[in-house]
Amino acid sequence: MKLLKFCLYFIFTAALAVGCKDTSKKPKITTSTTSVAIDSIQSETNTKTKPAEKEFELTEDNAIEFFFNYEKTLKSNKVKITTRLGSFTVELYENVPYHRANFIYLTSKGYFDYTQFHRVVKNFIIQGGNSDDRKTGKKRSDIGRYLLPPDTGKGHRHDRGTISMPSSEIDNPHMLASPFEFFIVVTKPGSYHLDNEYTPFGRVIEGMDVVDKINNQPVEQGDWPKQNIYIEKAEVIE
């Protein structure tokens, strides 16, 4: 009887070991989507296929040369911006070539579409080009990561209606400009304390009443409008 019990115990133990084989190995989880944060991309792939050729990407090393050449090809210096509150048109200064080229390039790439006027400071400025939508971060990542040098010595001031570029918040002692955002001065007659700090690169030539309407929208803490103000369309016009 003891021998029989021993045999049965041995057979049961062996069967259990076979049945449990490899169950401790967890399947490797991968994703085909890209995890995106503003100005950064993280991605993983386990495929052995040849990766798709990457589109042109702006960097700190190539941005100045690119915009120097791109500016020479431009045939227009006007951009129309449309929101639910109406449209306005800005004219860009030709003697601020890098900022002008950058703004037209981003417009032509569709970057500003569906971004927002995310900061509204009463009787001071409206600031646009950002969003709490992750798609905006992905668009920035696709275009590239770069900053623009300040260009404040061209005789332009921060008069009412001036469009200018804020400086980046990223370790930036030289006040390099954040290329994806812009602000428009609403103050009468202007906000001249901003001169020599930021680069004016154009002015509103039509629809300043729409800019004022945006500036008069109710805001929450942090100057974010209570109701989102999307740029429905930004387009280069002749």
| Cα–Cα distance, 176 to 165 (Å, whole number) | 9
Q: Alpha-carbon dihedral of residues 183, 209, 135, 145, nearest 10 degrees?
A: -20
Gap between the Cα atoms of 133 and 145, Å rounded: 18
3-state helix, strand, coil in the chain (%, to 5): 25, 25, 50
- Stretches where the chain sits below pLDDT 70 are 1-54, 170-173
Written as one letter, the residue type at 101 is A
Number of neighbouring beta carbons within 10 Å of residue 94: 13
Task: Find out whether 205 and 85 touch, Cβ atoms under 8 Å.
Answer: no
What are the structure tokens assigned to 85, written together?
């509150």
Domain range annotation of the chain: 81-237
With tokens 């790439």, the residue in question is 109
**What does the alpha-carbon distance between residue 172 and residue 166 come to, in Å, rounded to a whole number?**
12
Tell me whether strands 35-37 and 40-42 are parallel, antiparallel or unpaired.
antiparallel
pTM above 0.85, yes or no: no
The answer to whether residues 106 and 112 touch, using CB atoms and an 8 Å cutoff, is: yes
Give the C-alpha distances (Å, rounded to integers) separating 153 from 19, 167, 189, 237.
Answer: 78, 16, 20, 27
The answer to whether 53 touches 61, Cβ cutoff 8 Å, is no
100: enclosing H helix or E strand: helix 97-108
Phi, psi of 42 (to 5 degrees): -125, 130
- Amino acid symbol at 8: L
pLDDT for 178 equals 87
Amino acid at 224: W
Q: What is the pLDDT of residue 23?
A: 32
User: What class has domain 81-237?
Assistant: mainly beta
Cα–Cα distance, 98 to 82 (Å, whole number): 24
Residue that has been written with the tokens 């001169």 in this structure: 195
Amino acid in position 105: Y
